[in-house]
Amino acid sequence: MAILVQNIPVPLGEDPATACQRALRRLGLKPAQLAESHLAKVSLDARRRDRVRYVCSAELALRDPTLEERLAAREQGVRLVRETPPAFAPAGAPLDRRPVVVGLGPAGMFCALALAREGYRPLVLERGAPVERRVAAVERFWRTGELDPACNVQFGEGGAGTFSDGKLTTRIGDERCGWVLRQLAAFGAPEEILHRAKPHIGTDRLRQVVRRVRGEILRLGGEIRFDTRLEGIEIAGGRVVSCTTGGENIPCSRLVLAVGHSARDTFELLFDKGLPVEAKPFSVGVRVEHLQREIDRGLYGDLAGDPHLPVGEYQLSRRVDGQGVYTFCMCPGGTVVPAASEEGGVVVNGMSEYARSGPNANSALVAGVDSRDFGQDPRAGIAFQRQLERAAFALGGGGYRAPCQSADAFLAGRPGANFGRVAPSYALGVTPADFSRLFPPRVYGMLQLGLRDFGRKLPGFDAADTLLTGVETRTSSPVRILRGEDLCSPAAFGLYPCGEGAGYAGGIVSAAVDGVRVAQAIMGSGRPPR
């Protein structure tokens, strides 16, 4: 047990770690009364530019537990904390077969890791390549425009998050979040992710973490087959009995579908088998790109450039008529990257390394879409995404060049791009375009509204030479694969829809957490196979 001391101000320029000593002084405690301490949370308060500071929380374990209870009862901003790691408790008769996990993104990876640690020796099927070979394939696409539909930004070890900022923020209040962060740190992520309010790993460090997790799964008896795509699922008597890949039939009684948000062929397989799948709202839009120093100035004013300040990042939103327009996956000091997974379609995403040292900042500027935009059919959202991606390919002029428009032209409703201070970072080149020819009128209007509104909230956001590059369509899964309280498909016991692709997560941490939940459900249904 310990106490959490909250709202500890630390001046800019002072090490946030001093929050632990400040907490002791606030409570009138002596160092000898302390067993151990650590930073629990560090956030930057820049609301008043004349008083920018860190606001921290510190976790203190005292030698006298009764004193912890008394302090928590009487002191404002102090509460007791008890670490409750997730329970892994295999129960029931041994499974007849080892579990099969489809997909090695965050959900599949953490599901397989949890299962492997409890002796289940999972078999993992990943359609893409291991991260080393995957990086080479992606970088070749960015240089030449040669797309590998099986191995790209969307498919391969680590999932789509491998080519991102490696953001670890999440809004889910699940006790497994802390466990996931601690595992990531143990596998090489920066220790600061355990206390930063907006933690990130960066694409360069995330790749190392991914390799180490893979090594641990293998060391514990798991098996990983790369370049292996799920081709069929057999269900009999309301239970999953096998899956098919590469012409091989693999008997299994526990099958985890952690396929990611872009596995359109897998979704089609589920539709064809009559498994319960429904259309899900998602968002579409563009990548909006600024100079990072201008974002810093908009956030920090005259303090911009202070070496004690972190690189500026933002999150902006507006709701209109029940739908939202917002920024998403902001990448400070990053680049806009080609992220297609199908030939003849342009998709953009954002990426930054741990240092976030590039000249540009980018984020998705997206508007929510739902059945009002694309219809009720479960396939309709996928068709809508594909339509936008192919239209973007045509607007870009082919070769995976991306259509691009500057903010002044976009807001005025005229074509073209004013290439001023901001140089486009999209590797395969951009073509000046008119996004009114790409987006439906409602979506186009929402994006215009958002750009104007966010310019009022963050000075410079809607500057004339701000660049918009499209099209961003892979914000989340366009479908939800239904599951019950046991986390199984209602149509097939032992079939576990999991993670972002199944519609139950939105980001690295929440996907990993869902993978852990599914692993726990499998453990509750049977002990490891003999």
468 contacts 435 by C-beta, under 8 angstroms: yes
What distance in Å separates the CA atoms of residue 138 and residue 478, rounded to the nearest whole number? 24
For residue 283, what are its two tokens?
């968002």
162 contacts 108 by C-beta, under 8 angstroms: no
Give the SS3 label for residue 107: helix
Which amino acid is residue 369, in one-letter code? V
pLDDT of residue 501: 97
Which CATH number applies to 100-278+479-525: 3.40.190.10, 3.40.640.10, 3.50.50.60, 3.40.800.10? 3.50.50.60
Which amino acid is residue 449, in one-letter code? L
Which class for 51: exposed (0-12), middle (13-18), buried (19 or more C-beta within 10 A)? exposed
What distance in Å separates the CA atoms of residue 442 and residue 437, rounded to the nearest whole number? 12
pLDDT tens-digit series, residues 198-214: 999 999 999 999 999 99
pLDDT of residue 171: 86
What distance in Å separates the CA atoms of residue 336 and residue 361, rounded to the nearest whole number? 9
Residue whose entry in the numeric block shows the structure tokens 């923020």: 169
Candidates 387, 489, 400, 401; CA nearest to 443 is 387
pLDDT of residue 322: 80
Residue whose entry in the numeric block shows the structure tokens 């930054």: 352
pLDDT of residue 270: 97
Give 38-60 as a DSSP string. Answer: EEEEEEEE-SSTTS-EEEEEEEE
pLDDT of residue 160: 94
What distance in Å separates the CA atoms of residue 295 and residue 45, rounded to the nearest whole number? 16
CATH 3.30.70.2700-classified regions of the chain: 2-81
pLDDT of residue 504: 97
CATH 3.50.50.60-classified regions of the chain: 100-278+479-525
pLDDT of residue 450: 97
Which residues of the chain fall short of a pLDDT of 70?
A: none
For residue 111, what are its two tokens?
């599901």
**Cβ density class 428-444: b for 16+ within 10 Å, e for less:** bebeebbbbebbbeebb
Candidates 108, 492, 489, 105; CA nearest to 277 is 489
2-81: in CATH 1.10.3720.10: no
In 173-238, beta strands by DSSP E: 223-225, 232-236
pLDDT of residue 323: 83
